[in-house]
Amino acid sequence: MNIKNNFPTITFAFLAGFLLSFGQIHLESKPQKWSSKLSQAELKSKLTILAADDMEGRDTGSSGQKKAGQFIVSYYEDLKIPHPATMDSYFQVVPAAFLNAKKNQNLSDSANILAFIEGTDLKEEIVVLSAHYDHIGIKNGQIHNGADDDGSGTVALMEIAKVLQMAKNDGKGPRRSVLIFHATGEEHGLLGSQYYSEHPVFAWDKTIVDINIDMIGRRDEKHNDNNGYVYLIGSSFLSSELHQICEQVNETSTKLDLDFTYNNKKDPNRFYYRSDHYNFAKNGVPSVFVFSGVHADYHQPTDDVEKIEFDAMLKRTQLSFGILWEVANRDKRLVVDGSN
């Protein structure tokens, strides 16, 4: 070996590596052991029930949505995942008067559903995992099952909660507490999450992140030839650390193509403002919206389970789990260095 001739190359490689890593954060957890336990088959099984015709499209306050809500609650009861101790049940009732206050849509009382996995040494700090379980019901005599919107996010929450509880039962649960938040009224203007924002169960200064999953089961026209992608929206707005965690978790595990097209407050689609994470972000909580985009069946009676791409849905669920696991187990809470 010619030490003299190779020394500049070695020095350059070292410096290049240093510069590439400069400004990045160090991942402090290893989610792969637990994320590998997320099951594609169980995602499909749960979604087949949730997005069936007998749920009648899960419109806010409808009998079909209440039936879906009971399915979700029974699942948590079976897993022995409790509701928050300060609540009498899993249901945070959202009164009809609130739901109809801005625009009278003749909605009946509905409810957010909250399940809770208590952390260990950092249990006073709360990591929120959210998705809305309502859809648009029956229109012109046709049931809109909302398999992707947002049945996909709903069952992703249920599957992630199952694995978190497995870890907890094994003595390896998350250090911070995790609030599993199923919002109602999203399709009528983010009403369930707005109600929570005005009646929070946990103090805002103890709520450190919201990971919101809304529509992760399909591909959009832009990615017609490849479903190995996901949109992340809002990850950089309030916390540069959250954005870096999203990128690094993906780099070390799921290796999806991260698409930040809509990570822009001036995006004409206004996706950042159109799902439940926004009611957390506007209260200063760093948030990321995990999304696979719109498609021809969006808000149509054809948004059915048969069209879900469960391989891609599993990957996006694994990424969401990895982000949550890292944030929940870091020594320090996320830095808030941006503005909404």
Structure confidence at residue 24 (pLDDT): 60
Distance between CA 21 and CA 87 in Å, rounded?
Answer: 45
Confidence of residue 31 (pLDDT cuts 50, 70, 90): confident
Instruction: Compute the average pLDDT of residues 63-84.
Output: 98
Instruction: Compute the average pLDDT of residues 308-328.
Output: 98
Q: Give percent above pLDDT 90 in the chain.
A: 90
Tens digits of residue pLDDT in 230-264: 999 999 999 999 999 999 999 999 999 999 999 99
72 and 133 in contact (C-beta within 8 Å)? yes
Distance between CA 36 and CA 47 in Å, rounded?
Answer: 19
Q: Indicate the angle between helix axes 310-329 and 40-50, nearest 10 degrees.
A: 110
Beta bridge partners of 139: 142
280 and 193 in contact (C-beta within 8 Å)? yes
Q: Is the pLDDT confidence value at 10 over 80?
A: no
Distance between CA 288 and CA 105 in Å, rounded?
Answer: 29
Tens digits of residue pLDDT in 173-189: 999 999 999 999 999 99
Instruction: Compute the average pLDDT of residues 115-122.
Output: 98
Residue 185: both structure tokens together: 């009224």
Give just the sign of the alpha carbon dihedral 151, 156, 161, 166. Answer: positive
Structure confidence at residue 152 (pLDDT): 99
Structure confidence at residue 16 (pLDDT): 38
- pLDDT averaged over every residue in the chain: 93
Q: Is the pLDDT confidence value at 23 over 60?
A: no
Distance between CA 132 and CA 111 in Å, rounded?
Answer: 11
| 3-state SS assignment for residue 139 | strand
Residue 52: both structure tokens together: 């069936």
**CA diameter of the chain:** 81
Q: Is the pLDDT confidence value at 6 over 50?
A: no
Instruction: Compute the average pLDDT of residues 211-224.
Output: 98
Give the Å distances, CA to CA, from 123 to 19, 93, 127, 157, 336.
36, 25, 10, 20, 20
CB-count exposure of residue 146 (10 Å: 0-12, 13-18, 19+): buried
Tens digits of residue pLDDT in 268-302: 999 999 999 999 999 999 999 999 999 999 999 99
Instruction: Compute the average pLDDT of residues 117-142.
Output: 98
134 and 65 in contact (C-beta within 8 Å)? yes
Q: Taking Cα atoms as reference points, which of 69, 75, 17 lies closest to residue 45?
A: 75
Alpha helices (runs of H) in the chain, residue ranges in sequence order: 3-21, 32-35, 40-50, 63-79, 96-99, 153-169, 191-198, 240-252, 278-281, 310-329
Q: Taking Cα atoms as reference points, which of 295, 261, 290, 263 lies closest to residue 276?
A: 290
